[in-house]
């Protein structure tokens, strides 16, 4: 830690900051926190006591990192050979105490969290996870590698997500769920194994979705998950019977592109 860094306001004298780190304006670093080489802290970002940025972590503006959290650790992947990889956290995201986020591997070279997310205590994001904006993940939820969570999705506590799973935007996953298949956008899901329980109507209303959009999404859900049709038959019916609203088209595209299949 350079002498200049030691005397910067907002940095506790017991903190350790690499001379190869970059600090923005109005950064706060608490007691015994560690900022490793290659780390970048955006303006107004905060590290609480004993938080650790191991290496190659980029925090956007006004990111808060809770007590004992560890960001930028090596990926827990036997194929990792020391490639230069990153963790990137978007503006305004809050990460609570004892969360861990590992760097990426050569598959995508980074693990990313979008803007305005809220990760509660003891959350784990493994290598090459990618979260959109406004994602909420509750206490002690664990994500394996290569998981994608799209904008405004919510995961309740004590859930586990299998590697390569994709969780669609504005979906809601209930607590203690084991998510081994993709969760379509706009849907509620819960269970071990996870099952689908209709449209996330309350979440969509809170997000300002129109009645027309909600109605068509409900029709799409019933065709795929509450009828005797197989996926191909449901897709054909949906293409011919539903209004081609952007949200409906995205719902259909998600199902078409699913690599792991979707929960029922």
* Residue among 128, 146, 162, 203 flagged as catalytic: 128
Please confirm, yes or no, whether 104 is among the known catalytic residues: no
Lookup: tokens for 171: 């979906």
Please confirm, yes or no, whether 212 is among the known catalytic residues: no
Please confirm, yes or no, whether 182 is among the known catalytic residues: no
Q: Which helix (H) or strand (E) holds 194?
A: strand 194-199
* Residue among 104, 114, 127, 263 flagged as catalytic: 127
* Residue among 68, 114, 145, 168 flagged as catalytic: 145
CA distance 231 to 225: 9
CB atoms under 10 Å from CB of 96, counted, come to: 20
DSSP state of 262: B
Task: Indicate which residues carry an active-site annotation.
Answer: 127-128, 145
């Amino acid at each position: 830690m350079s002498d200049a860094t030691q005397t910067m306001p907002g940095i506790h004298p017991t903190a350790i900051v690499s001379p190869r780190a970059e600090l923005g304006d109005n950064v706060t670093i608490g007691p015994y926190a560690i900022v490793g080489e290659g780390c970048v802290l955006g303006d107004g970002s905060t590290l609480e006591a004993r938080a650790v940025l191991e290496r190659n972590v980029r925090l956007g503006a006004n990111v808060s990192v809770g007590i004992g959290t560890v960001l930028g650790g090596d990926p827990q992947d036997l194929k990792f050979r020391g490639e230069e990889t990153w963790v990137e956290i978007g503006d305004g995201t809050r990460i609570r105490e004892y969360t861990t986020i590992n760097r990426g591997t050569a598959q995508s070279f980074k693990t990313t969290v979008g803007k305005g997310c809220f990760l509660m205590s003891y959350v784990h994001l493994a290598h090459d996870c990618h979260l959109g904006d406004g994602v909420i993940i509750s206490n002690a939820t664990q994500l394996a590698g290569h998981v994608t969570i799209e904008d405004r999705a919510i995961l309740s506590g004590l859930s586990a997500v299998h590697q390569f799973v994709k969780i669609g935007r504005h979906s809601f996953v209930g607590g203690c769920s084991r998510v081994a298949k993709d969760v379509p956008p706009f849907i509620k899901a819960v269970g071990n194994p996870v099952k689908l329980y209709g449209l996330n109507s309350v979440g969509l209303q809170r997000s300002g979705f129109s009645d027309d959009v909600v109605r068509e999404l409900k029709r799409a859900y019933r065709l795929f998950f509450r009828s005797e049709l197989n996926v191909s038959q449901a897709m054909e019916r949906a293409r011919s019977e539903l209004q081609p609203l952007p949200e409906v088209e995205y719902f259909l595209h998600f199902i078409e592109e699913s690599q792991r299949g979707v929960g029922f």
